[in-house]
């Protein structure tokens, strides 16, 4: 097959959670650019409508589907909606999470922290298992999880020097715990799903330059990165498309840092 055809997603159905902003938005654009029919799942259909309209203006087929990561029934409806309409899910990109409500600082409020760990852990697992069952029936599919470099290494505390308000960013307990678990679960899931022709891989991004980025953090972080910068909007697209498409048909169980070389040493 022609190499560029291996990267094509024409005729494929893709479902993405967390696909309207930040790294997820770049993934949505890549899936649409490659020709997939995209189901963009969001906790608020209204908040995702602008993303849908922009992606559609650029030639994409984009449908919105509501889901709430805190509600297992909502997660099930999301998957069932796509399967009912399309009969299959070829690509699943799992990029959503809830923001922890456990406060800031090293010690965090127990009840809120437990809730965020449960939703970001069990919620992630439940939606992936439901999609996995559909892919098993198809005997094909690619699951791309979102981990983080913070699930691979410890925090460089000096990234948070110079701005007292940045210090709580070094204490993302929920984030680190769940992103570490996703990396381990990817190997576990790949060992199960491989016999059904289903691949499971994880992207582990580093910091992303956005309108939320504090300038002092950008400077600090860039000094610790081999390429000397934060990620840009397009930097996730190529590797996401590789894992989503048949170009990676012999890759499974991988957790790939997309971090400008931050974890290289």
pLDDT band at residue 172, thresholds of 50, 70 and 90? confident
Using one digit for the tens of pLDDT, what is the confidence trace for 86-143?
Answer: 999 999 999 998 776 766 667 777 777 888 888 888 999 999 999 999 999 999 999 9
Task: Please tell me the distance from the alpha carbon of residue 60 to that of residue 72, in angstroms, as a whole number.
Answer: 29
pLDDT value, residue 93: 98
Of the candidates 17, 22, 29, 19, the residue with the CA atom closest to the CA atom of residue 237: 29
Q: Which domains does the chain have, with CATH numbers?
A: 3-152+166-208+234-258 (3.40.50.720)
Q: What is the mean pLDDT of the chain?
A: 91
**Helix/strand/coil (H/E/C) assignment for every residue in the chain:** CCHHHHCCCCCCEEEEECCCCHHHHHHHHHHHHCCCEEEEEECCHHHHHHHHHHHHHCCCEEEEEECCCCCHHHHHHHHHHHHHHHCCCCEEEECCCCCCCCCCCCCCCHHHHHHHHHHHHHHHHHHHHHHHHHHHHHCCEEEEEECCHHHCCCCCHHHHCCCHHHHHHHCCHHHHHHHHHHHHHHHHHHHHHHHHCEEEEEEEECCECCCCCCHHHHHHHHHCCCCCCCECHHHHHHHHHHHHCHHHCCCCCCEEEECCCHHHC
The mean pLDDT of 185-210, rounded to a whole number, is 96
The contacts found for 161-168 with CB under 8 angstroms, 24 or more apart, are: 161/216, 161/220, 162/216, 162/220, 163/214, 163/216, 163/217, 165/214, 166/214, 166/216, 166/217, 168/104, 168/105
User: Which tokens hold the place of 243?
Assistant: 């894992």
pLDDT value, residue 65: 96
pLDDT value, residue 86: 98
The mean pLDDT of 153-169, rounded to a whole number, is 78
pLDDT value, residue 170: 67
pLDDT value, residue 133: 97
- State pTM to two decimals: 0.94
The mean pLDDT of 152-159, rounded to a whole number, is 87
pLDDT band at residue 168, thresholds of 50, 70 and 90? low
pLDDT value, residue 104: 65
pLDDT value, residue 83: 98
């Amino acid at each position: 097959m022609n190499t560029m055809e291996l990267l094509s997603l024409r005729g494929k159905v893709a479902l993405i959670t967390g696909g309207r902003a930040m790294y997820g938005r770049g993934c949505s654009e890549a899936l649409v650019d490659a020709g997939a029919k995209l189901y963009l799942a969001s906790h608020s259909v209204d908040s995702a409508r602008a993303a849908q309209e922009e992606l559609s203006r650029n030639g994409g087929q984009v449908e919105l589907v509501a889901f709430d990561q805190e509600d297992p029934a909502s997660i099930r409806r999301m998957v069932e909606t796509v399967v009912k309409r399309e009969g299959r899910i070829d690509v699943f990109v799992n990029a959503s999470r809830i923001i922890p409500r456990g406060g800031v600082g090293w010690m965090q409020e127990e009840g809120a922290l437990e809730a965020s760990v449960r939703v970001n852990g069990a919620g992630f697992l439940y939606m992936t298992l439901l999609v996995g069952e559909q892919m098993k029936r198809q005997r094909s599919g690619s699951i791309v999880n979102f981990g983080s470099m913070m699930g691979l290494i410890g925090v460089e505390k000096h990234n948070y020097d110079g701005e007292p308000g940045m210090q709580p960013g070094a204490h993302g307990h929920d984030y680190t715990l769940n992103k570490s678990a996703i990396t381990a679960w990817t190997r576990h899931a790949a060992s199960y799903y491989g016999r059904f022709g289903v691949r499971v891989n994880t992207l582990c991004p580093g910091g992303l330059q956005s309108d939320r980025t504090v300038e002092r953090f950008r400077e600090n972080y860039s000094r610790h990165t081999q390429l000397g910068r934060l990620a840009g909007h397009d930097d996730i697209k190529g590797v996401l498309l590789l894992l989503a498409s048949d170009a990676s048909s012999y890759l499974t169980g991988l957790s790939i840092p997309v971090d400008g070389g931050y974890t290289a040493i």
